[in-house]
Amino acid sequence: MHKKLALIGLPLVLLLSACGGSDPYEEDGGGGAASGAVVIGSADFPESTLLAELYGRAMAAEGVEVDYQLNIGSREVYYSQIESGNLSVFPEYNGATLAYLDDEAPSADAEETNALVEEALPEGLEILDSSSAENKDSVTVTREVAEEHDLASLTDLAEVADQLVLGGPPEFETRHQGVVGLESVYGIEFSEFRSLEVALLTKALEDGDIQAANLFTTDPQIAVEDLVVLEDPENLFGSQNITPLVNGEQVDDTARDALNAVSAALTTEELTQLNERVVIDNENAADVAQEWLEEQGLV
């Protein structure tokens, strides 16, 4: 579901200005934007950019000055920017945040996960209200591969994985909620892991270059291409509710209320539909976000 913006070699300001209808990020040499604005970031896949537009525009509608830094990269890249104050707000996933902070933390429901995240976060960082909207990692296969190997769950996959190639973003190979956990929890060992941009995974599946892929469960291409998401009976991927991560000193009550209002209104079904408009219909994420916020009475 994720279409990366890859403009290698272009100046940073050009990269950021290409990310939709948002203002580019400006540094002041310390933390945050030069103007003192709330700086909201996104990872380098469409849903994250869409969420940044939803949360950012909701804050702006309440009079908060907002700057954007979109398509940054993986959590391994952007987390330090939140901690340092170069970013103020980031639309995160509670379970993935927990796994990053503590790779030995147990999988749990949303409430327990949030309690563990709050305990693990360093001073100065906070999470706000979680949305009911959830987007999990998955191991997904084509209908043909599922039928050929009689696959319905990750437990089934353990018996045939050595005949299959798994594709995913590079970080999936080293995360517990990834290749490491698949082996330790399910005993799954693929014949090969192939590092691919997320935007290329569905095509690689359809072409047979890989036989399994790390896709996200709100990816609209799962339904469009009739792909099979393998069940996760051991809950390796845990709770993955949309949850804003904030640098507490840079986010006032007005911004917090706006962020929490978006989280309260968003559902998994709506998020999947919004993703479809961005990924399948190629609509601009900023326009899709603005329209949804207007429908919800949040702008």
Domains of the chain, start order: 12-134+242-295 (3.40.190.10), 137-229 (3.40.190.120)
CA proximity to 22, closest of 63, 50, 62, 2 = 50
As to burial, measured by CB atoms within 10 angstroms (0-12 exposed, 13-18 middle, 19+ buried), residue 168 is buried
CA atoms within 13 A on the CB side of 36: 2
Contact, 103 vs 176, CB < 8 A?
Answer: yes
Contact, 16 vs 25, CB < 8 A?
Answer: yes
The pLDDT tens digits along the chain (299 residues) read 333 333 333 333 333 333 344 443 333 434 455 468 999 999 988 999 999 999 999 999 999 999 999 999 889 889 999 999 999 999 999 998 998 999 888 888 899 999 999 999 999 999 999 999 999 999 999 999 999 999 999 999 999 999 999 999 998 999 888 999 999 999 999 999 999 998 899 999 999 999 999 999 999 999 999 999 999 999 899 899 999 999 999 999 999 999 999 999 999 999 999 999 999 999 999 999 999 999 999 99
In angstroms, the CA 94 to CA 244 distance is: 9
In angstroms, the CA 145 to CA 229 distance is: 12
Q: What amino acid occupies position 5? A: L
Q: What does the radius of gyration of the chain's CA atoms come to, in whole angstroms?
A: 19
Backbone angles phi, psi at 149, to 5 degrees: -110, 10
For the chain, the helix, strand and coil percentages under 3-state DSSP, each to the nearest 5? 45, 15, 40
In angstroms, the CA 263 to CA 260 distance is: 5
Enter the pTM of the model.
0.78
**Bridge partners, residue 93, by sequence:** 242
Residues 6+ apart with CB under 8 A from 76: 100, 171
- 151 is written with which tokens? 């696959």
CA proximity to 199, closest of 78, 75, 44 = 44
In this prediction, residue 27 carries a pLDDT of 39
In this prediction, residue 228 carries a pLDDT of 97
Distance between alpha carbon 113 and the CA centroid of its chain, in Å? 17
In this prediction, residue 35 carries a pLDDT of 60
Residues 6+ apart with CB under 8 A from 201: 167, 168, 210, 213, 214, 215
In this prediction, residue 61 carries a pLDDT of 98
In this prediction, residue 1 carries a pLDDT of 37
How many helical (H) and strand (E) elements, i.e. helices and strands, does the chain have? 13, 10
Residue labelled with tokens 């709330």: 38
